[in-house]
Homo-oligomer: A and B are copies of this chain.
């Protein structure tokens, strides 16, 4: 029996930010936005909330080139991302043939418990 997480002001605030944003953002960026809005939430709490959300698959997480983890509220189901390096704006993409290809490659080489990461980075038209 898993405990339901409590419905706290802080967690609601983090979720609200994620709902407003349309792109990926780091924990620290989200923390800053909250501070700017006056709805201050401790940095540790932002990190913890995002972890909980990511574990529950309610948000997607990926690492940028600098090794920072970025979070985004995404639609359910497996998909990949086309992400603007500059503003974080994101387009969800699907690639069924890529999935099949990756699984086939792994299988041919005797690999088990296969997962793959696939992200496309670029500069979006607004940022160009």
Contacts and interface: CB of A to CB of B under 8 A. Distances in A.
**Copies of this chain in its oligomeric complex:** 2
B97 A109 contact: no
A101 B111 contact: no
A56 to B, nearest CB: 18
Interface in A88-126: 91, 93, 95, 97-98, 101-102, 105-106, 109-125
Interface residues of A, number: 33
A101 B106 contact: no
30 contacts: A63-B63, A63-B67, A67-B67, A82-B106, A82-B109, A82-B111, A84-B111, A85-B113, A91-B109, A93-B105, A95-B98, A95-B101, A97-B97, A97-B101, A98-B98, A98-B101, A105-B120, A106-B120, A110-B124, A111-B122, A111-B125, A112-B123, A112-B125, A113-B123, A114-B121, A114-B122, A116-B119, A116-B120, A116-B121, A117-B117
